[in-house]
Structure 1
């Protein structure tokens, strides 16, 4: 195996995981029957444009539609209009997109059909502040959530209670039309009501749950937002609301399916694979440290798995901002991991977001091995100091180990692939 290239191998694993979540391959199997009335397509998320293009290729019959995606994430569509807006911090374009989506589903009848294409990123792309709140308030909420270290379920419970479109409200606006939601999950545990804060799928999370999360994670929200959360006006519709009785929800792609595909690709190349979990959560640097301990145990003692082996995990870690460095949860995970395997030979790893973007930079994540920390030191950087400053992007950029595949058109959360040879 002298010609074996660990980076190339890890990229092939990432590509297999992404291919398993390609809407072009999965959407056709979940389409409903044509309605007697109109077919309206709506959608939001970082892969919404690709889902729209896949829908157009699969649907037989008339339709019209509108979806919103992140700037630079558009894809060619023939009949479905694609709007671009800001992510991860909302902007005025997203506000206008939310207004137009609500308009798109108003005035429908029970003979009409709404098909909702929903994937990760939709929360930020659909700002629609509740009465008495402003876009600035919703931006402040989003920034507080991103810096809090709260898990995605808690974040989205708060988001839906300050919105007029999230938490099932977009589907409620379409009533009495039937709404069929086709969801690509980026949520640990694959609860479709939490993907993009559930614009068409209500959840049981209550206003009291939202207030508890604000307190638990020490969030400082604008006074107007807190006043709203303390008012019954913030209550979101519940799943047993009669307006949702005819609706359907289909999970068309998820981390679990993509991890299985990644494992199969490793085996095809002659390397056994193990999946730790598809729904890991927690502070990125702590999860990185635990993964490093497992990799070291395999490398040094050949347990709990025998070498060679590919160790896979998915889910969504969180980052509590301690400084204003550059990075994202995958690069922060991997920098912690690199520190944990420093000097250990035979370990190579890739951590990346399957949508192609980790945080706010242009990389999906990064690569590392047992020499990464030493190479950073040679470049004049202290890995531990960079981790303390939330500056993982800068650290990996200095040693040319960023992974930049570009937007993938889907999003089933993070992929962590650790090869021990």
Structure 2
């Protein structure tokens, strides 16, 4: 098995381990005496809805609606699927959210709401807070994405710009029992951060959201206070994490170990600027190769989490390809180190590309084509670099989302 094929197999295993058909059914609640309404939002939500239908005792009793990203829809028989824009919300998302809200009307204590949440739900659940227009929400989202703000900061702001997130959706479903099944794509797996916590009480305040916007130099629109954790309408709500970045990392590690490589998971919640994380991991990989510290080669260094890219150039961004371009520059053609980084949803930034690969020849090949990898990095244009090299990892929509998977292979 070549280094490239091993890294690709590891990434595929990580994605497969987080598939809704595998992780949703074991956590389904028993049917209620009343109605069962299935709602949700996220890149994996349509596949999650299909898993509910395929394993529910009486699927014809189901109703409801979930919202997923364009191109991520999965046919369902009884649950309506709507598609909308991600990462910047659009009018289709706003219309679909209004439908979803209406589907939860007139519920009773005998009814059950199954809420299916995954990464991307923040942009797909669109109900601007009072005094906020859709255009203002779009502008704030775009500015946050370009600012280098981390996901916790972005979702704190989103909870205070929304009429549906920050616990508001669960409060609206009261007095029905609300069971949330979530696939995490965020560092730390925080229930209030995944899709901005539509069914989870929010301890943050408008002041906190205002401070984040001010720190990043973004104009502050009207903000609205979220539903707090002690709100009695949330007393019966249940939140269950059904898959997470660590599950994907362990599945990838199993592939490496079966191929004879020791595998070390450095963490599932690494954050920071992509290029800074790359420089740090390059230093560790070089130490392994040269000194056998902190691990002996051959081995694989695995990590997950969500890095950030502060857009300063005119490129297309993408935190995984930016990480890899910076890693390649830092390694400077090291003859024994290969790497892959990709987003498990199949989309790095706004591109329909999961990520890419690098190896000892990456820089030399790029320069032979007349490209300057350092210039591509400074322009935030690593997507163009790896497209030219033919080293992209393209999966199409994976219908799940457990954040990024980075694998660095150090040969003997």
Smaller-chain TM-score range?
Answer: over 0.9
Cα distance in 2 for partners of 1:78, 1:305 equals 51
Q: Normalized against structure 2, the TM-score is what?
A: 0.97
- The one-character-per-residue Cα deviations of 1:178-226 (angstroms, maximum 9, x if unpaired) are 11000000010001211111112222122121112112222234xxx1x
Select 1:28's aligned residue among 25, 30, 50.
Answer: 25
For 1:73, the equivalent position in structure 2 comes to 72
Contact preservation (8 Å) 1:341, 1:369: no
Cα distance in 2 for partners of 1:392, 1:119 equals 27
Q: Map of 1:161-172 to 2, 5 A cutoff? A: 161-172=160-171
For 1:9, the equivalent position in structure 2 comes to 6
For 2:115, the equivalent position in structure 1 comes to 116
Q: Normalized against structure 1, the TM-score is what?
A: 0.95
Cα distance in 2 for partners of 1:12, 1:304 equals 25
Q: Map of 1:402-413 to 2, 5 A cutoff? A: 402-413=392-403
Contact preservation (8 Å) 2:343, 2:403: yes
Cα distance in 2 for partners of 1:309, 1:260 equals 15
For 2:209, the equivalent position in structure 1 comes to 210
Stretch moving more, 302-311 or 174-183: 302-311
Cα distance in 2 for partners of 1:36, 1:285 equals 54
Alpha-carbon offset, residue 239 of structure 1? 1.0
- The reply to whether residue 145 of structure 1 matches residue 144 of structure 2 is yes
For 2:364, the equivalent position in structure 1 comes to 374
> Structure 2: where are the runs of 5+ without partners?
none
Alpha-carbon offset, residue 31 of structure 1? 1.1
Cα distance in 2 for partners of 1:78, 1:15 equals 29
For 1:52, the equivalent position in structure 2 comes to 49
For 1:336, the equivalent position in structure 2 comes to 326
Number of equivalent positions? 409
For 2:101, the equivalent position in structure 1 comes to 102
Cα distance in 2 for partners of 1:296, 1:395 equals 23
Cα distance in 1 for partners of 2:325, 2:372 equals 11
Cα distance in 2 for partners of 1:277, 1:394 equals 29
- The reply to whether residue 348 of structure 1 matches residue 338 of structure 2 is yes
Q: 2:188 is paired with a residue of what secondary structure?
A: coil
Select 1:327's aligned residue among 317, 321, 325.
Answer: 317
- The reply to whether residue 282 of structure 1 matches residue 282 of structure 2 is no
For 2:405, the equivalent position in structure 1 comes to 415
For 1:178, the equivalent position in structure 2 comes to 177
Alpha-carbon offset, residue 292 of structure 1? 1.0
- The one-character-per-residue Cα deviations of 1:9-29 (angstroms, maximum 9, x if unpaired) are 011101111121111111111
Structure 1 residue runs of 4+, over 3 Å off?
none
> Structure 1: where are the runs of 5+ without partners?
none
Contact preservation (8 Å) 2:311, 2:317: no
Contact preservation (8 Å) 1:194, 1:203: no
Select 1:364's aligned residue among 350, 354, 357.
Answer: 354
For 1:237, the equivalent position in structure 2 comes to 227
Contact preservation (8 Å) 1:56, 1:77: yes
For 1:220, the equivalent position in structure 2 comes to 219
Select 2:236's aligned residue among 246, 260, 264.
Answer: 246
- The one-character-per-residue Cα deviations of 1:237-279 (angstroms, maximum 9, x if unpaired) are 1111000001100000001111111112211121110000100
Cα distance in 2 for partners of 1:392, 1:202 equals 39
- The one-character-per-residue Cα deviations of 1:354-400 (angstroms, maximum 9, x if unpaired) are 00110111110010012211211111111111111100100111111
Cα distance in 2 for partners of 1:291, 1:76 equals 41
For 2:154, the equivalent position in structure 1 comes to 155
- The one-character-per-residue Cα deviations of 1:99-124 (angstroms, maximum 9, x if unpaired) are 11111111111111100000000111
Q: 2:187 is paired with a residue of what secondary structure?
A: coil
Contact preservation (8 Å) 1:299, 1:344: no
